[in-house]
Amino acid sequence: MNWYVDVLKKYAVFSGRARRQEYWMFFLFNVIISIVLAIVGRVIGFAALGAIYSLAVFLPGLGVAVRRLHDIGRSGWAILIALIPLIGTIILIVWLASEGKPEQNQYGTNPKYSGAV
């Protein structure tokens, strides 16, 4: 849960680097929360509950994805490759799942080895 809260604390931070674990734990918690909100929204008759949550976590999700791309040495603009149907999404998923560069790059030191978890 700390990974999720840490990403929310960096609400619109697009600089620096993010570990694989930080990105994927945020993604996992988003999926779980979205499913729960979809069920609760349907039960109480307020289907927009999920949409409101999605809007609330859009910027933190975008920020952690950009920082994740920085960790592998790519520009944050590389996220736009997902606009290419299917192939672009597959490429982006592979990049997001790739091991980060162990050395310091133009976006900062490796968070995995710098002690910043």
Torsional class of 109: left (φ above 0), alpha (ψ -120 to 50), beta (otherwise): beta
CA 22 → CA 6, 28, 38, 110, distances in Å? Answer: 9, 10, 24, 13
Q: Which domain covers residue 49, as residue numbers?
A: 2-97
Give domain status of residue 91, yes or no: yes
Among all chains, which residue has been given the structure tokens 């982006």?
Answer: 92
Q: Provide the domain count of the chain.
A: 1
Domain assignment present for 107: no
pLDDT tens-digit readout, 71-103:
999 999 999 999 999 999 999 999 999 998 888
The reported pLDDT for the residue numbered 115 is 58
C-alpha 101/C-alpha 105 separation (Å) is: 8
The whole-number pLDDT of residue 3 equals: 83
Identify the residue with better confidence: 66 or 2.
Answer: 66
Give the whole-angstrom CA distance, residue 92 versus residue 18. 15
Question: What are 9-60's pLDDT values in tens digits?
Answer: 998 899 999 999 999 999 999 999 999 999 999 999 998 898 999 999 999 9
Q: Please check whether residue 42 lies inside any domain of the structure.
A: yes
